[in-house]
A and B are shown apart, each in its own frame.
Chain A
């Protein structure tokens, strides 16, 4: 059994990823500190989402995907044979670009992860569901219709439901893949507030297209371009005095 109770900083060394012949990530080295928000920015196709998906091994589902390098969360080697992939994914939650609530009730959506890991008692589940929804600050909106289908909610609510669903697994790290790109500004604002709250207990890594969002929420920012990590540092530094010309061109909107 792997132990996710220690320090949850992410350490990646010499990461290379190939889709068939395509070299999608090139020599990425990055240290992501725990209990902070780290944003990955860069133009479409730069590899930031691909990189994110390494951290909970979602790329395992992709055919012809080859990954080399060393990947550690705390003391845990992500790709070690002893590392149980399902336990890894339980502890490294993920929120997707498009809200993907399951076609079942709100309650069952949230209870899915705890049930996966063997919790059957109604009272326990009730508690987890309420807690998770509260943490995702959506409890007040849905507490009266927990038995209704999750598909009847608005897009912004669905996304917060998906966040709550991840939280119900009690993860230590939350990966967010452009979680607000499909949402309106008000819902986006709610989710950003939420992240501020969540980083007290969680390490958050977020991929975003929106540079204002990165400056608003991220403690650290990494800039990706064409599969390479160009620059990585404290968000304030990256945006006020970028060290690389390409970073500057990107954040000032000259390409991407």
Chain B
């Protein structure tokens, strides 16, 4: 018996090794294959004659802006309602909770299909950046709601009491005391949600149209994003460009992740939660 369990221990460590190797391999491959292929032309070049990811930059930034402008206020406000007004209890809260959980579980391609049906077809916008952005906003909403809820719940009750005891109204307590105290967690959640917008591609295939060789003129124009460019390049035989674009996207995503943890800590420090 003892031998069996010792063997299991070794198997576990081997599994740990495999996990690390697999994941490191993905990153290492992209970096090694792609870094050398980064060129000025690809990054900022004339996208009409040779592949360039300039339109994707523009598209991605616009998508991030639209999605967060919509999802952040709505998400934070609904978390405020759930935590500050209902004590996280009651029937309505249960229904909202179930709705957010269900939204969180819907595959991105289904979001894409929905975006296609409503914005491209029903609204008649055709493929457009704004349609994609709104669809992405709905997609990241559950994450923002849930993380904001957690951050609000972690604010000490004593602070709210202290504020009420000074004659501050509920709204003032929320905006001046509770939200600033929870801001570290909320900002982290927002940055991670932006990370999801940047990484997403399945939604966009069906909503913004994957037009890789045009900078979008306005929000109703079709467009592309970095993640979508990778798919486009890879499936049209530009594998080097795909790898190089992956490097750029990877740098973005890792940067956002580091920023998220860094900013969270910074805000905690500035509000004195951590000494």
Contacts and interface: CB of A to CB of B under 8 A. Distances in A.
Q: Do chains A and B make direct contact within the complex (CB under 8 angstroms)?
A: yes
Given A150-B272, A151-B273, A113 B177 contact: no
A133 B166 CA distance: 16
A112 B181 contact: no
A166 B180 contact: no
A187 to B, nearest CB: 18
A165 interface: yes
A188 to B, nearest CB: 20
Interface in A92-114: 93-94, 96, 98, 100-104, 112-113
A116 B172 contact: yes
B161 A169 contact: no
B165 A56 contact: yes
Interface residues of B, number: 24
Nearest to B269: A149
A96 B166 CA distance: 12
Determine chain A's interface SS by DSSP, over half rule: helix
Interface stretch (A82-90, A120-128, A136-144, A238-246): A82-90
Contact of A102 (B167, B177, B270, B275): B177
Contacts of B270: 149
Contact of A149 (B87, B156, B168, B271): B271
Contact of B158 (A88, A96, A117, A152): A96
A88 B165 CA distance: 9
Nearest to B273: A103
A96 B272 contact: no
Given A90-B166, A96-B162, A100-B162, 12 more contacts: A58-B161, A61-B161, A89-B167, A91-B167, A94-B165, A102-B177, A112-B168, A113-B168, A116-B168, A116-B169, A149-B271, A169-B166
Interface of A: 56, 58, 61, 63, 86-91, 93-94, 96, 98, 100-104, 112-113, 116-117, 149-152, 162, 165-166, 169
Interface of B: 87, 156, 158-169, 172, 176-177, 180-181, 270-273, 275
